Amino acid sequence: MKTEDCWKILVECVEDITEERILNLSGVVTVQVKFSFDEFCFLSENEKKRTTLNLLMKGIEKISSHKNWAVEPFREVSSQIKQMGYSNEWVWKKAIKSPDKNYYAEILCQHNINSMDISILIWQINGVMIQREKVISELPDEFAYAKHLGELKWISDVEVALINKKGDQVGSLGTLPLE
């Protein structure tokens, strides 16, 4: 969604709302919503996902009302999240082909309640997955996991590596021989 002055929304889940205003700091629009961490801890994984989405929507609706944004696109996405069983996973960047063009690899990010799991997937060029391996399990906070996502790079015809933002290899995965 294109906006005039916002590139990110931050919904702060707090025990007590200390700031009623909606703030905009360098394009990050922040809103506080009331939340009980103690109650949240006792919920099941599915209840935590439902509660998290409800809290996000509460914040988004508050911001949308304040900024005169159409809230319907957010509600549609919320509905799709529910239909998908609250699964939050995506492929990071584009897949890359191996030097010999026989394979391609991609990074799968799975954002869970207690972890962000980052896996390397290798596919044959015909679309058959031949390898999948989790290389990182990190806190589910972008400040914790984003540092690992620097570059996916083939280091040979048969091995691909995830390189972090510092340039260090985080993990690698090799292909299976074609039969």
Please give the share of the chain, as a percent, with pLDDT higher than 70.
Answer: 98
For residue 178, pLDDT over 80 is answered with: no
Domain of 50 in residue numbering reads as: 8-83
Same domain, 74 and 131: no
> Which sign, positive or negative, has the C-alpha torsion 81, 82, 86, 91?
negative
Same domain, 69 and 144: no
Q: CA 98 to CA 109: how far, in whole Å? A: 21
Same domain, 93 and 158: yes
If one counts the domains in the chain, the total is: 2
Question: Could you say which of 35, 55, 83 is where a domain stops?
Answer: 83
Same domain, 58 and 111: no
For residue 179, pLDDT over 90 is answered with: no
Task: Return the pLDDT at 24.
Answer: 96
Task: Return the pLDDT at 59.
Answer: 98
111: in domain: yes
2: in domain: no
Task: Return the pLDDT at 1.
Answer: 87
Question: Could you say which of 83, 106, 129 is where a domain stops?
Answer: 83
Q: Is 56 in contact with 67 (CB distance < 8 Å)?
A: no
Tell me the average pLDDT across 9-34. 96
For residue 177, pLDDT over 80 is answered with: no
Same domain, 57 and 104: no
Same domain, 93 and 79: no
Tell me the average pLDDT across 30-45. 96
**In the block, residue with structure tokens 């995965």:** 173
126-176 confidence digits (pLDDT tens)? 999 999 999 999 999 999 999 999 999 999 999 999 999 999 999 999 986
Tell me the average pLDDT across 2-7. 92
Claim: this prediction has a pTM higher than 0.85: no
63-101 confidence digits (pLDDT tens)? 999 999 999 999 999 999 999 999 999 999 999 999 999
Tell me the average pLDDT across 48-77. 96
107-134 confidence digits (pLDDT tens)? 999 999 999 999 999 999 999 999 999 9
Q: CA 79 to CA 87: how far, in whole Å? A: 12
Same domain, 31 and 63: yes
Q: CA 31 to CA 37: how far, in whole Å? A: 17
